[in-house]
Amino acid sequence: MIHDLLSQSARYEKLHPLFPLAFAWLKNFDPQTPDGKYAIKGDDLVAGVQRYTTKPTAEKKWESHRVFGDIQVVFSSEEICGHYPANALRSTESYQESKDVEKFAHPSTNTNFLHLKPGSFTIFYPSDGHQPGVMVNHPTEVLKVVIKFRLE
């Protein structure tokens, strides 16, 4: 997992050949873009624009992926995103290849909580169990982009 400011993204562009395209797309993102999926480079790099209301942690599921990593950026409002090693989580919904997702129960021990707000980004890899969309103090409408990048 990587969590930093979008203004510092050049530091990470060498970590994956698709990162320069992904970060360029994010830096040019128009908040008026409708919700939906946008191909940046075929099926290997896709942006998902989404607006939703954050919820209490008890109402949000944990997840991880195998084929794609996530670059998550909140463009309006804020949310909390839990982070925990995926191999230490208990599966509640087996891996769905078509959606590249496995769902997990809430961890029984303390987790890390990331504060996602405008200007920052977080990168999740398959080893990163994560719980996006958790409210900070009260439910709020969020505009978020999740870029899926193919790992191999």
The pTM for the full model equals 0.95
Do 83 and 72 form a contact (C-beta atoms < 8 A)? no
Report the alpha-carbon distance of residue 116 to residue 129 in Å, rounded: 16
Residue 17 carries which side chain, given as an amino acid letter? Answer: P
Candidates 113, 145, 115; CA nearest to 130 is 113
Candidates 131, 105, 135, 104; CA nearest to 117 is 135
Spans in the chain with pLDDT lower than 70: none
The pLDDT, as a whole number, for residue 77 is 98
**CATH fold of the domain at 2-150:** Jelly Rolls (2.60.120)
Do 120 and 48 form a contact (C-beta atoms < 8 A)? no
In the chain, domain spans: 2-150
